Structure 1
């Protein structure tokens, strides 16, 4: 129950906009919504490309990660993500199609490490897609409707696409054009693009801009690590106690928080 309470707080209350707003002293979510149409189009395209890159990394390299990651690996991944953010901060929006796939892939490696710590089998394709789910689960906004954007609502919305994509991957017949995969990537990208907009907007705020894209990307990594830890904690508890008891307890804790 103690682990589940921490997971509920992270999954239902933690947002990237909240972290960035604390850094900037301004409502980043509103600034992100005010980005020009051309910028939003570029962000949508970059988010989709980043997820496709992360997908191939998940399926091809995550099962081969060494069982014992060297101590401090998480700090090194954060440093690398911050370095890619510094590149974006130096050259602006034009570098996003290059920077975002790099930072998203590094975040995915961190997510996979957390999944393994919580007892997941990285050789199972379903685990790879559970790692990708984190990008949707961590893309809540302050203005989201809790009934449609809560943790279990998002998981349920993605469940069928995840199942279909995992079956394709298990049969080694997966391709970007596979219907189940196309739907899954579109579902995740539609949410992930929102937080990418917030990331871009934060870099344009003078206070945050002074800190640089490195600080924004470090917050990006920290946010998704927090969400991943909570997500895979819930999955670990489900394996031990069953899905329904865990969901019932989760919903009760969530109601009490609200």
Structure 2
């Protein structure tokens, strides 16, 4: 059964700090401006277009039914694998390894090179590998922004990045913006975190976790389809699967940095103050 992610849900409330009137510092406002730009404007198609130096209209086209079936199965398997592997084996303390982000990108590029050479049929094998690598990179960013990954809600916020980073150029910004997607996921992430706190992430069959993962999959499948379609564009195909996977990784790392910046600021200033500043910046950008 597929669970669609409704973007008409009420605003997220489970992690909101008490209402306050704190004013963000100039440094934090600058960080928030960067976050807004990433969360509201960054798309995988845009990154790939920038990589090849021209718009890639074909990326928005629908895949054939057979290809869509392969993508759907690959996305479900990838997210199950990521939940099982990444969130149960990540160290909870911040990593001291230099260049961790570059290492994750290099490994993702290597897996993409293999997938690019062998074609669409390797996606069910390649995507779980690259998705787990991306999730580990997201978790490194989360820790660097002060998240405690021993808290199930914070760990699930890492998976939330796959939904937040799945906007397309055709999306209605009013209904698919950052806070709209967070709000749509609010109830399921709270319920999933409660289950994970009691039973751990190994009980992946719990209805709350299944529902949460289905919502993530409904969004993540959009950009995976774009990734697959990009391989059919001659100018992208000539660059190869390694470059496409590197762009895939960097896209989600950018979104993760922005997402966890917002969460860090919410802990400092309270969610209402941060959202007010966020919406003001978003409105100014749109104007």
Residue 121 (structure 2) aligned to one of 94, 97, 122? 94
Q: Are 2:258 and 1:254 equivalent residues in the alignment? A: no
The answer to whether the 8 A contact 2:45-2:59 is kept is no
Q: Are 2:59 and 1:31 equivalent residues in the alignment? A: yes
The answer to whether the 8 A contact 1:82-1:215 is kept is yes
Alpha-carbon distance in structure 2 between the residues aligned to 1:206 and 1:30: 10
Alpha-carbon distance in structure 2 between the residues aligned to 1:195 and 1:68: 28
Alpha-carbon distance in structure 1 between the residues aligned to 2:234 and 2:167: 25
- CA deviation digits over 1:144-189, x for unaligned, max 9? 1112110000001001111111111111255232221111111111
Normalised by the length of structure 1, the TM-score is 0.95
Which one is further off, 149-158 or 166-175? 166-175
Aligned length: 257
Alpha-carbon distance in structure 2 between the residues aligned to 1:123 and 1:66: 9
Alpha-carbon distance in structure 1 between the residues aligned to 2:167 and 2:219: 8
Q: Which residue of 1 aligns with 2:102?
A: 75
Residues 1-258 of structure 1: pairs in structure 2 closer than 5 A: 1-25=29-53, 27-28=55-56, 30-62=58-90, 64=91, 67-172=94-199, 175-258=203-286
Gaps (5+ residues) in structure 1? none
Question: How much has 1:205 moved relative to structure 2?
Answer: 1.4
Alpha-carbon distance in structure 2 between the residues aligned to 1:196 and 1:211: 18
Which one is further off, 26-35 or 129-138? 26-35
The answer to whether the 8 A contact 1:50-1:101 is kept is yes
Q: Which residue of 1 aligns with 2:6?
A: none
Q: Which runs of 4+ in 1 moved over 6 A?
A: none
Alpha-carbon distance in structure 2 between the residues aligned to 1:56 and 1:32: 31
Q: CA RMSD in A?
A: 1.4
Question: How much has 1:29 moved relative to structure 2?
Answer: 5.7
The answer to whether the 8 A contact 1:32-1:200 is kept is no
CA distance change for structure 1 residues 37 and 5 in 2, over 3 Å: closer, same or farther?
same
Write 1 or 2 for the structure with the bigger share of helix: 1
The answer to whether the 8 A contact 2:95-2:140 is kept is no
